[in-house]
């Protein structure tokens, strides 16, 4: 499978599959299965293309990642939309199946900052464009999508359309927490709709505020990292130990490390809090 390989069905045939899933005509189950399998192969190719790009930015040997570096724990997942979510999206967007960008979707959850997230996305855009694909980057960082944050790449080639999401570990944890709430209270809350329950609306608002706090924490760490990197250039570290430059630099580094440790502890607390929220939501069950 390659991104320049042409499928043996037309967009019209794919759209008729969408019509059938909406109950407008009889479903060609054999063709639908072929389309699903084709896109599963396309997602596998997406992984093979993207992983070497990410690996170039992995740093395994540092206590704190700098801008441009990612951790070695890279989690990939992929899925083809199920029939219910296809029908829901076709109805909500008044579109057809061949135009749904995320019919097939891949996702990388990586240990990184917002600035690095953008660099990784740009790396991937360049590689897929070299393969002859058109790529549209959708950035949900400073401005969230109903609390959700991440970067989406809409990749379109001869072989079809796929969506690739790039999220940080904290963004992924938040998204999974909010998705669980949506499963229990109704998927409409994912698009800004109010729920009948004031408790659900309070939880939604609180999770949106938490998303903002996560982003501001990550941005502050990026600013700290950038400031430290700039400050380093002003010191002559070749001077002997005990020199003014060495003493000032070591004091600066000590403050930087302490601040990064506080940031790390804050992130760990956020992860723990969201895990607790998930446990509580599971214990509550469906919200009527």
Tens of pLDDT, residues 243-271: 777 788 888 888 988 998 999 899 899 99
The pLDDT, as a whole number, for residue 111 is 93
Residues 144, 170: Cα–Cα separation, whole Å: 14
Share of the chain above pLDDT 90, in %: 76
Q: In sequence order, what are the beta bridge partners of 153?
A: 137, 164
pLDDT for 168 equals 96
Alpha carbon dihedral 148, 208, 185, 96, in 10-degree steps, equals -30
Report the alpha-carbon distance of residue 156 to residue 162 in Å, rounded: 7
pLDDT-derived band at 288, boundaries 50, 70, 90: low
- Give the residue among 107, 117, 106, 105 at the shortest CA–CA distance from 71: 117
Structure tokens at 179: 């998705």
Pairing of strands 148-157, 160-168: antiparallel
Residue 2 pLDDT level (bands cut at 50, 70, 90): confident
pLDDT, tens digit, for every residue of 31-63? 999 999 999 999 999 999 999 999 999 998 888
Place of tokens 């939880």: 203
Mean pLDDT of the chain: 92
For the segment 105-160, what is each residue's pLDDT rounded down to a tens digit? 999 999 999 999 999 999 999 999 999 999 999 999 999 999 999 999 999 999 99
| pLDDT reported for residue 240 | 67
Beta strands in 69-193 (DSSP E): 75-80, 104-110, 134-145, 148-157, 160-168
Which residue has better confidence, 86 or 287?
A: 86
- What average pLDDT score do residues 17-30 get? 94
Cβ contact 141:117 at 8 Å: yes
Residue 137 phi, psi (nearest 5): -95, 125
- CA dist., res. 111 & res. 134, Å (int): 27
In DSSP terms, 75 is beta-bridged to 109
What is the rounded average pLDDT of the residues 50-78? 93
Whether pLDDT at 239 is above 80: no
Q: Yes or no: say if 70 and 112 are a contact pair by the CB < 8 Å rule.
A: yes
Tokens encoding 58: 């992995």
C-alpha R_g of the chain:
23
Residue 280 has pLDDT above 80, yes or no: yes
Angle at 199 (CA atoms; ends 198, 204), nearest 5 degrees: 95
Check residue 238 and give its pLDDT. 65
Task: Say how many C-beta atoms besides its own lie within 10 A of residue 103's C-beta.
Answer: 23
Please tell me the predicted confidence (pLDDT) of residue 232: 78
pLDDT tens-digit profile of 107-119?
999 999 999 999 9
For residues 166-190, give the mean pLDDT. 94
Q: Name which residue leads in pLDDT, 288 or 80.
A: 80
Q: Examine the pLDDT at 175 and tell me if it is beyond 90.
A: yes
- Check residue 62 and give its pLDDT: 81
92 CB contacts (<8 Å, ≥6 apart)?
Answer: 191
């Amino acid at each position: 499978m390659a991104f320049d390989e042409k499928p043996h069905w037309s967009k019209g045939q794919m759209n008729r599959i969408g019509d059938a899933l909406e109950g407008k005509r009889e479903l060609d189950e054999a063709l639908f299965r072929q389309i699903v399998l084709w896109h599963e192969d396309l997602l596998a190719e997406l992984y093979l293309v993207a992983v070497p790009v990410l690996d170039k930015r992995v740093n395994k040997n540092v206590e704190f990642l700098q801008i441009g570096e990612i951790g070695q724990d890279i989690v990939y997942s992929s899925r083809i939309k199920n029939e219910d979510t296809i029908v829901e999206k076709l109805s909500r967007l008044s579109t057809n199946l061949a135009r749904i960008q995320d019919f097939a979707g891949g996702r990388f959850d990586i240990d990184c900052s917002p600035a690095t997230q953008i660099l990784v996305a740009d790396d991937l855009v360049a590689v897929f464009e070299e393969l002859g694909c058109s790529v549209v980057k959708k950035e949900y960082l400073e401005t969230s999508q109903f609390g959700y944050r991440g970067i989406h790449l809409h990749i379109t080639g001869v072989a079809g359309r796929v969506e690739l999401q790039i999220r940080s570990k904290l963004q992924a944890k938040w998204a999974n927490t909010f998705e669980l709430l949506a499963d229990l209270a109704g998927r409409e809350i994912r698009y800004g709709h109010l729920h009948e329950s004031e408790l659900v609306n309070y939880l939604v608002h609180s999770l949106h505020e938490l998303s903002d706090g996560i982003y501001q924490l990550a941005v502050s760490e990026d600013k700290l990292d950038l400031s430290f990197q700039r400050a380093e250039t002003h010191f002559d570290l070749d001077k002997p130990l005990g020199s003014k430059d060495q003493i000032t630099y070591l004091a600066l580094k000590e403050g930087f490390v302490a601040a990064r440790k506080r940031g790390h502890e804050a992130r760990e607390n956020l992860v723990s809090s969201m895990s607790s929220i998930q446990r509580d939501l599971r214990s509550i069950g469906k919200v009527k």
